[in-house]
Structure 1
């Protein structure tokens, strides 16, 4: 049994129960109602979108069919013999019939066109003269075609295409025209390639049943009805009017399309309505989908929602108590662990499973305790390091002036006995020791570079002509402040690891420049360089993010990196570029600060 209080403290699980448990039923009911309404609205919107897609798809398929036929009609322009025959009879209106050879030429061409698509009933050429050619002479031509509106329109302009609405071909031999095919026609102006004048019209008659096949391929639901009419509102589909496509209903549908209505009622049946007008054929496709076929799932959704709410209420109640108990146990465990930490026990840990927010809080607690313990250990180690450093400093300071005076004595003896080289080296070494005895941590760039020059002068005594060097610095940077002993170890590395292993002479170049608020140092040598494997190890050591005190235990370049980051921060320090056999370039980046600025801040 769950307790509500412990040691006069209201438990977390109790607070959660009092705050949220009475609010479970109402939110679930609201969510159920909103879900039902959202589903209904979504189905209705999706239905309207599907209907729109049906009409668009149907028109696209019809356009594709018509464009294919239009392309076929243009093939005559690439048949010189056929075009020449057509031109001849256009220029000779006195010819009432064609020769047998010309008939065969034209018939062969039309048969080839018809073979490209089985829906082509016939292909005819109506000349501006008085001759008519056809692939199928079983059908009668348009009578007196020169005076028909479509023929006049096409022959008074060049390279025009016209889509002729559905009509019935007439048989020549059967006056009753029983079973005469219904077709729609693609009419294309034929022009003379020399004069660019119209010489006739090529008409491709396409079986109207191709429209039925196109509609079937576009029909999203079997009970979708289509109405197709052209720009003059002449009905192209269906061919035979039914209850939906009666004259009265067609007029209602066209008025609804014009009024951009989305719903229409025909013969006591409600329909979703969408339409699409082709820019190519100017045909309008109207799709009518019964509302009942799209919303028949709404009642199922309604009852499903009610049942789901009831089941969810029962499950939520059980899950609610289970989660409250589990979360409460986690909170209690965290509270007890925090009390142990308050009493100094830093070895406690929150043992968790899962990925809930409380578990994440426990992970953060573990991380906090670990960091706290590590911080204490680091502080102890830092204190130990400082004590060791102070001890080492004391040891280094034992009689330093005795050594300095001894070097001065060596210098005097060397001068007296004429050993200028020994005297020069003693003087240079004395300068280096004098700089080392300076207790300041930050020195001017002028002092640091003078120390480097002294060191290079001493190395020059050893390497003689094998060592050459240059130092480039702008005069206005002389008073900039840098950490003491940062350049000399880098130059020393360049000599011992770059120049010394070479047989030939080596060159070291030191450049100091300003880049915005940064002071940049470049120490470049043409020594033996660093192998790629070793360079990767050094670069990884420079990027190492562990305790900086641990890094300071290493020597040379890592100690300089540690010193720079301890003084200026992690964004400053060293980077190295090197190629084996070509040399090494070390770049040091520190913030630009001048001696006067440091004195003013003090």
Structure 2
């Protein structure tokens, strides 16, 4: 699939990509709208549930108040005495006092519109305010709420009744058998303010329904007494319907919220998304036009020129008509063709010169091979000089010839790695020659740890530094001189070689100059400049850095007219790959 897409033209590829982007954008808008709706509905549902729980708590608080009022009223001594007496005359005398208590209780709750008291046979014993004259009454065992009531005396108003059992209490305060039934007739108007807090949108409905789904009270565009079928509204997808059952009364608290009110702000976002989609579609169309005229057509012209140039060749060039990137590409192509033309001529001339140089180089190599000296010839010559010296009894010449032969054999011997014992022996031969040259003026003292003699080290490491000490430090000194060669193992198991002399030393300027050369060598990653004095020391530094890397180091200390010390530190392990010639 991807290969087939790659084989399409650039125009088709961009067109496909634009269509895919528009489809992805449309899908993203649709998913965003759906998710936003789900989030809003979920949040609103959670909010309504929280508010409804608060309404239920208020209803429970109201229920607790009613229970307290009923206990205060019906278990008062006056009402208890009124219920317990069987004498009609006594009841007539106590009736006014009972009504007075009913009147006082009525003032405790403004929505109490009537209070009635019945005996267990259903006979009405006392009545205050509104209420029906019921011939029979259902005996209840706990506080019970009725459904919606319509009284004949007030047909335009709605009521509900709260019925509670009244038990007798003897002189010892013990509850006895059921003595009667008390009933409160309540006005529904006190419920509407409680329900109003649950209406979260202007056209939302909050209803309190009885067991027969009649509206007791409500908030919003709700009429009391009308029937309300919760199941029918729940099936309507245009509304969010939630139902909560009040525990004691079995009334239902119903919240009905129109979805269009919740999603009104979301419609604004949807219109904005649609507008954005249309604007992007127009912009993509404009992009295609500009891409075709400003990029695609010039690129095709450039490709046609590239295809036809091998046939035309010569001085033909691309006609640049635009100042954009394609125009810059065409201009650079023309410059490249000009440069190729020039370089072609230069290459031909260079090839001719190269053949001539290569021929000259071969001739020089042949000449160099002819002039090479066989090292064995030098060894044999030195041995002949030594034999002649023995014959004539000149021991000094014999000894120097021997030392020089050993040094020469050591220097040309293949390999870069030797033992410290071989390197010390080489320095000792140099010391013998130096002692002869300067007639015992200079002395050399070696202090080498015996266990380090078999450790591998870099070839020609010590002798150049010792020679440097003699040449720069001791030769210019008046009187005898001394060179100390110390080799020992450090605490970190590295080997440290110290070449110290008591020569003329150097001042701070010269010391800083030589130290600076070492620093510049590190900073230039191995590049170094040759500056006369110090070349041998820099070569040693370069070699230890090449062979040992950062594990090796060289330090230089000196005092004018006191001497100089060169310290070289390197590990006792060396990569065997460096041991070749």
TM range (shorter): 0.3 to 0.5
TM-score (norm 2): 0.40
TM-score (norm 1): 0.39
Report which structure shows greater RCO (CA 8 Å, sep ≥6).
1
Instruction: Please identify the structure whose Cα radius of gyration is greater.
Output: 2
